[in-house]
Amino acid sequence: MRAWNGWYHVNGNTYGTWLRGDARGWREWKHHEHVDGDYRNPPPPGQSDEPLIQSRRMMRGRPIRLTPEQRRIAGQALAEKLAEMGIEVLVLSVDAVHYHFLARFADGQIRWRVGRAKKHASHVLSRHGLPGTVWAKRCRALPVRDRRHQLNAFEYIRSHGAKGAWVWTFREGLYWLEK
């Protein structure tokens, strides 16, 4: 499905916080194996124990959970880099284990550009004491269907602030750079 005016709702996780075999449900990359359930209707308990054990064994570090200060730093770095690349972002949120943003990608190079932004955020976080891998691989980019969908996604992402996420909207501008 094509995105309405190039808008996408992009989300992703921090490293090690949603693994293959997770009780909340999971998907095989490129759907090589059918997996029952998802985060709304999780698979039966015990069905995914072996993939979860294997995923944990393969991890090179501990799962990353961002503190409120690290959420702010990561969110600002993501917004800065996306703006530097000419990506129009309406709203962005970062909580302890994942990020969301609503952005327009005119050229369709979503994963590459999000990867650059995550890399920048990782470097900034390493200067503030969080070395190593911060983000999980890849991201999920959901095409926005129409204006109503765009407004719903905007409010959904903004609502993460009530759950402790650092939230930024385009109305605020990149105020931290003006200091």
| Contact predicate 119/23, CB 8 Å | no
d(CA 26, CA 141): 16
CA distances to 1, 32, 118, 131 from 134, rounded to whole Å, are 30, 26, 8, 8
What is the pLDDT averaged over residues 118-145? 92
CA distances to 2, 32, 57, 67, 87 from 98, rounded to whole Å, are 25, 25, 22, 12, 20
Query: Which of the four pLDDT bands, split at 50, 70 and 90, describes residue 55?
Result: low
The answer, yes or no, to whether residue 66 has pLDDT greater than 80, is yes
Selected from 3.30.930.10, 3.30.70.1290, 1.10.10.10, 3.40.605.10, the CATH number assigned to the domain covering 4-14+65-178 reads 3.30.70.1290
Q: Are strands 98-104 and 88-94 parallel, antiparallel or unpaired?
A: antiparallel
What is the pLDDT averaged over residues 60-75? 90
The residue ranges of every structural domain in the chain are 4-14+65-178, 29-58
What is the pLDDT averaged over residues 109-128? 96
- Which letter does DSSP use for residue 46 in this model? T
Query: Which of the four pLDDT bands, split at 50, 70 and 90, describes residue 175?
Result: confident
